[in-house]
Amino acid sequence: MNIQSCVEVRNEWDIVKARQSGRNIAKELGFGTVDQARITTAISELARNIYLYAGSGEVAIERVENGGKLGLKIEASDSGPGIKDIRKVMEDGFTTSGGLGAGLPGVKRLMDEFTIDSKENEGTVITSIKWLR
């Protein structure tokens, strides 16, 4: 079974589309309502970051497996300006948008694994996984 989806983020509606497809996949994989809400919210935050900072990009959602563990992976990527200081964006309360997003530390708390790969002027890829308990 190969469950996956990829949503292009270009406008505010695509944020809704991305989180709805995330919820469907989370449900299908057997996540409970609380984790479904966590995953959906994380996708919403990441998709909004793309829209706000890069203008456009994509959110890919797929099922992952590791040593018998089943999970859902979110990969949010864009070719935007990139993140200058990753350590700084991971500090609670840091914002460049004036508080529009809860920020990446919030997303990290919602998920189990979280990595940022970003190059200035090239773009950003954020990968995050929630494992099924």
Partner 1 sequence: MRIPILKLNQYLLITIQVDLDDKTALQFQEDLLGKIHETGAKGVVIDLTSVDMIDSFIAKVLGDVVRMSNLMGAKVVLTGIQPAVAITLIDLGIMMKNVPTALDLEQGLEKLQQELGG
Task: Catalog residues that contact partner 1 under the rule CB under 8 A.
Answer: 12-13, 15-16, 19-20, 23, 33-34, 36-38, 40-41, 44-45, 48, 92, 99-103, 105-107, 109-110
Nearer to partner 1, 91 or 120 (CB): 91
Nearer to partner 1, 44 or 77 (CB): 44
Nearer to partner 1, 38 or 77 (CB): 38
Helical ranges in 54-115 per DSSP H: 86-89, 104-110
Nearer to partner 1, 45 or 78 (CB): 45
CB of 18 to partner 1, least distance (A): 11
What are the beta bridge partners of residue 65? 70
Give the integer Cα–Cα distance in Å for 32 and 82: 34
CB of 82 to partner 1, least distance (A): 22
Q: Which long-range contacts (CB under 8 A, 24 or more apart) does 105-111 make?
A: 106/45, 107/42, 107/45, 107/46, 110/38, 110/39, 110/41, 110/42, 111/38, 111/39, 111/42, 111/74
Give the integer Cα–Cα distance in Å for 51 and 10: 6
CB of 90 to partner 1, least distance (A): 13
Question: CA 75: distance to chain centroid?
Answer: 6
Nearer to partner 1, 18 or 83 (CB): 18
CB of 42 to partner 1, least distance (A): 9
CB of 20 to partner 1, least distance (A): 7
